[in-house]
Amino acid sequence: MRGINNSLIEAAIIDGASFWKVYSKIVFPLTMPAIATISIFNFLGAWNNIIFPLLFINDDKLKPITLGLLNFNGERGSEYGLLMAAIAITVLIPLVIYMLFQEK
């Protein structure tokens, strides 16, 4: 937000806009692409986190979906049909969020 030209903010203040009006009509729309990018990266970092829940969460009801994918691997083999269905469901949510924010 520091990179926004001060002349835009000063011009809005001279025109009689309040602080909140300047923020909502000028500053926030100009910073929306950066906010969307940071939101996508933070979401994907939290979504793909396996180590933290694996170490600290013992209750199966509290474990995230990505950690639940590890349960599809058995001792003698894997159920590949179930594994692929679970992966498709797991990938669907970040894909939808990415598509919602891609225009920003």
pLDDT band at 75 (very low <50, low <70, confident <90, very high): low
Chain centre distance of CA 29: 19
Q: Is 73 helix (H, G, I), strand (E, B) or coil?
A: strand
Q: Give, as one character, the DSSP assignment of residue 4.
A: S
Cα Rg of the chain (Å, integer): 22
Sorted by sequence, the CB contacts under 8 Å of residue 93 that are 6+ apart come out as 47
The pTM score is: 0.63
Q: What is the pLDDT of residues 82-101, one digit of tens each?
A: 888 888 888 888 888 888 87
Band (pLDDT 50/70/90 cuts) for residue 71 is: confident
Mean of per-residue pLDDT scores for the chain: 84
